[in-house]
């Protein structure tokens, strides 16, 4: 199984990266895993031209967004991590998704969305400085998860689960129970349908 990890965190050893690593470490040998630090990608901004809808590919000059788009198409599952920024996913991850709309979805002749990655699985990881339960009462972590799920939904993915670490401003430590949850999600990601 090909598993693509999209790490939106700017911190190499931060909370999101650590939780993503726990998911990957839980996978049995034999899976092909590729880790991409989205912050390191060289991507031009989406111009909102919408030509990708009819051409089925971004028409901007070839850059890392095109390369990662092909990797998303080839992957059997995604593991996506993002810090929570203003109740949403981080900007580099959002840019990667904006540039790859035709990878995730096409359009029917009537203009209705058609998923292009139907049946694939994904796991979402997020972290937030807002402490529990306020990270969910206010749409902080919940907003970031919702935004990533929206992309996955239109792509036809089944979300196998989410893991969130709130309150990172006061405590960088990840509890054993949260690490355990991340590991369980890794196993759930590779279960057959």
- Mean pLDDT for 147-168 is 94
Domain 2-190: top CATH class: alpha beta
Rounded Cα–Cα distance for residues 41 and 98 (Å): 14
Task: Output the pLDDT for position 111.
Answer: 81
Share of the chain above pLDDT 90, in %: 73
Angle at 77 between CA 1 and CA 175, to 5 degrees: 105
Rounded Cα–Cα distance for residues 144 and 140 (Å): 7
Given a cut of 60, whether residue 64 has pLDDT beyond it is yes
Average pLDDT, the chain: 92
Q: Sorting pLDDT into bands at 50, 70 and 90, what band is 170? A: confident
Q: Sorting pLDDT into bands at 50, 70 and 90, what band is 163? A: very high
Task: Output the pLDDT for position 192.
Answer: 57
DSSP assignment string, 157-168: -EEEEEEEE--T
Half-sphere exposure (Cβ direction) of 184: Cα atoms closer than 13 Å: 9
Task: Output the pLDDT for position 142.
Answer: 87
Task: Output the pLDDT for position 97.
Answer: 98
100-145 pLDDT per residue, tens: 999 999 988 888 889 999 999 999 999 997 777 766 667 678 899 9
Task: Output the pLDDT for position 135.
Answer: 61
Rounded Cα–Cα distance for residues 106 and 164 (Å): 31
Please state the pTM of the whole predicted model: 0.93
Buried b / exposed e across 49-70, counting CB within 10 Å, b at 16+? Answer: eeebeeeeebebeeebbbebbe
47 is written with which tokens?
Answer: 């111009």
Task: Output the pLDDT for position 13.
Answer: 86
68 is written with which tokens?
Answer: 């990662």
């Amino acid at each position: 199984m090909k598993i693509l990890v999209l790490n939106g965190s700017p911190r190499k050893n931060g909370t999101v990266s650590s939780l993503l690593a726990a998911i990957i470490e839980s996978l049995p040998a034999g899976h092909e895993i590729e880790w991409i630090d989205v912050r390191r990608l060289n991507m031009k901004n989406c111009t909102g031209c919408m030509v990708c809808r009819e051409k089925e590919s971004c028409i901007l000059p070839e850059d890392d967004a095109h390369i990662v788009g092909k990797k998303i198409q080839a992957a059997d599952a995604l593991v996506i991590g993002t810090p929570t920024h203003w109740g949403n996913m981080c900007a580099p991850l959002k840019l990667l998704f904006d540039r790859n709309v035709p990878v995730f979805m096409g359009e029917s002749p009537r203009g209705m969305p058609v998923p292009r990655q139907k049946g694939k699985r994904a796991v979402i990881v997020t972290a937030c400085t807002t402490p529990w339960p306020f990270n969910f009462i206010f749409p902080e972590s919940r907003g970031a998860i919702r935004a990533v799920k929206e992309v996955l939904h239109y792509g036809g993915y089944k979300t196998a689960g989410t893991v969130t670490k709130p309150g990172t401003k006061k405590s960088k430590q990840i509890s054993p129970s949260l690490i355990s949850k991340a590991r369980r999600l890794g196993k759930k990601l590779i279960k057959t349908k």
